[in-house]
Structure 1
C-alpha cells in the first residue's frame, strides 16, 4: 500500500526545509511553503543555483505564521515578527513580475551577512493571485511552479542504482527538495502517471513533470556544490521531450485538507507519462 513517508515544507524559498509529521494542505501547498523569498536589492529572487549558502539558513515559522526565526552556522539566530499586511514591492521570479511585502532592515542585514551579498526578505502578500500552469491549473506562493512536489522512494532508488553503476555514492532524498515522499509504489516514476491523488483529507491534480536544475548538485547539509552528478546520470535516461531532465512530478491542490505521514496515497486517475 503506497503511503506518505515524508512531509516537508520550505518557509523561505531556497533555504532549508522543515520536516513535519502532519500538515495543512492549502490551495498554495503545504501551509507556509515558500511564503517567503530572499531577493536582491533590485527585487530579483535568490536561488541555490547562484547562492548555495541559502541552504545553510534554517527557518522556522509559528503555526499562525506571525513569527519567523532564521538560524545559520556562525551567525546565530534571528527572530522577527512577520509583516503580512504592509506595502508590497515588485519582485522578480524567473522573469515573472510578482509582489512581496518587505520584512525590514534587521532581517535584510542578517541575510546580507550570511549570503555575502545585499539581500532582503519578502513575504507573499494577501492579494497574491498567481496562477500556475500545467495539466491542472492551480496556485502557489514563491515555488518554482506548482504547489506540491511529489517524489517516490522507488524513483530515487533507481537513480541511486544507476549512480552506483558509475561508481558514485547514493544521494539522499533532500537533494531533490520534495514536499511529499511516497513509499510503496513498486515501479519508479509512478508519480509521473498519477493524475488524481487523494491523501488524508486532501486531493491533488497532476500538473507536470519536475524539471531538474543545478540545485540538485548542492549538498543540502553543507552547501558544497559539485558536478556533474546527478544531472549527468539523469540525462542518460530521463531527458524530456521539451528539453532538460525530469525527476518527480508537480501537483496542484484540488481540495485542501490535512495530510499526515502514514496516510494512504490513493490514485483515482491514471495517465500516460509526458516523457
Structure 2
C-alpha cells in the first residue's frame, strides 16, 4: 500500500467542506476489552497503533468476546513505552511486553484462520482466572495480511489486525447527543460514548458556521475526511455503516447489561444499507497519511456525498 492519491484531486473534493475537529481518540489494544483514551496516536496501515493488536482466545483458538463474556469490559489496559499493564477487579496487575511474543499459534476470527503469537502461560492463567473459562492471550502476527471486505472499500486494500473488519470506526458527538436526547425523553439515563467503541470521535470546530453544524448521523453521509496534522494530511474514507451487536448494551464501567440501549437504537436506526440491521457510526479506511500522528483537537474537514 502507498500514499498514491493525487493531492490536487483530494483537495478539490473539500471545496465545500465543513469544519470539524477530533474530540476523542480511543485505542482498544485487546479485542473486546476496555479502551484507552489517548491524546494522540500514530496512524498505521492497520488503524491506530496497537489497536486490536491482541485478542483473547479459548482452548481451540476461537476468539472470545464481550457478547458472551461481559466481564471482558472490566479488563483495562494502560499502554507504556515498552509494556502494557492490564488491570481487572480482584486481580494483580499483569505486565505484557509490547514488542515480545511467545510461540506461534493459529487462531480463528469470524470463521477465518490466522497466525498469531501466544503471550505465554502467565497471561493465559490471568485471563482464565478472571473470565472463568480457559483462555489465552495472543498477538497479531504482523506478517499476516487481514484485509477488509472489498465489497465495501471499492477495491481498496484496507488492512486491519483483530478488529471486526475495518481499520477505524468513526462516530460523532452529535449522534450520541441524538441518542441521549431520545433516552432522556423516555426517562432513561444517558449512554456513554465508550459503549460504542469508536476510534475517532468528531465534533464541530469552534469556527463552524451554524448552518453547517453537525446533526445526528451526519457521518453517514460523509464522502471523505481530511485531517490536518503536523506532518501533512490524512485522508479517511467512510465505507460501511457499523452494524450493531449487543455490545452497546454492556456498561463499560460495571459490565452490567442494559438492553434499553439496543432497544432504543432498534426503534430508529434500522439501516437499509445493511438489510435492516441497526447501524451507529461508520467504518473508515485510510487513503493517505500512514505513519502520521492524529491528535485530539486537530482540524478535520469533511464533505458530504449526495445520491
TM-score norm. by structure 1 comes to: 0.93
In structure 1, C-alpha distance between the alignment counterparts of 2:70 and 2:279, rounded to whole Å: 21
In structure 1, C-alpha distance between the alignment counterparts of 2:306 and 2:192, rounded to whole Å: 28
SS in 2 for 1:203: strand
Match among 215, 220, 237 for residue 187 of structure 1: 215
Q: Contact conserved, 1:3 with 1:264, CA < 8 A, in 2?
A: yes
2:261 aligns with 230
- Deviation digits for residues 43-100 of structure 1, max 9, x if unmatched? 111111001111111112334xx52321111102011334656543221112222221
Query: After alignment, is 95-104 or 148-157 more displaced?
Result: 95-104
Q: Contact conserved, 1:202 with 1:258, CA < 8 A, in 2?
A: no
In structure 2, C-alpha distance between the alignment counterparts of 1:86 and 1:127, rounded to whole Å: 15
* Shift, 1:139, TM fit: 1.0
1:260 aligns with 295
SS in 2 for 1:162: helix
In structure 2, C-alpha distance between the alignment counterparts of 1:272 and 1:216, rounded to whole Å: 29
In structure 1, C-alpha distance between the alignment counterparts of 2:161 and 2:95, rounded to whole Å: 22
Where does 1:26-45 land on structure 2 (aligned, <5 Å)?
26-45=44-63
In structure 2, C-alpha distance between the alignment counterparts of 1:128 and 1:272, rounded to whole Å: 37
Higher helix fraction (1 or 2): 2
SS in 2 for 1:76: coil
Q: Contact conserved, 1:84 with 1:126, CA < 8 A, in 2?
A: no
State yes or no: 1:174 paired with 2:175.
Answer: no
* Shift, 1:271, TM fit: 2.1
Q: Contact conserved, 1:84 with 1:101, CA < 8 A, in 2?
A: no
In structure 2, C-alpha distance between the alignment counterparts of 1:60 and 1:124, rounded to whole Å: 18
Q: Contact conserved, 1:10 with 1:33, CA < 8 A, in 2?
A: yes
In structure 2, C-alpha distance between the alignment counterparts of 1:24 and 1:109, rounded to whole Å: 31
Aligned length: 269
> Where in structure 2 are there 5+ consecutive unaligned residues?
1-18, 205-212
State yes or no: 1:127 paired with 2:147.
Answer: no
- Deviation digits for residues 146-191 of structure 1, max 9, x if unmatched? 1111100111111111112222111111111111111114221111
Query: For the pair shown, which has the larger CA radius of gyration, 1 or 2?
Result: 2
Match among 196, 201, 223 for residue 224 of structure 2: 196
1:251 aligns with 284
Q: Contact conserved, 2:101 with 2:118, CA < 8 A, in 1?
A: no
* Shift, 1:272, TM fit: 4.3
Q: Contact conserved, 1:27 with 1:254, CA < 8 A, in 2?
A: no
Q: CA RMSD in A?
A: 1.6
Q: Contact conserved, 1:26 with 1:253, CA < 8 A, in 2?
A: no
Match among 38, 57, 66 for residue 20 of structure 1: 38
Q: Contact conserved, 2:101 with 2:139, CA < 8 A, in 1?
A: no
Higher strand fraction (1 or 2): 1
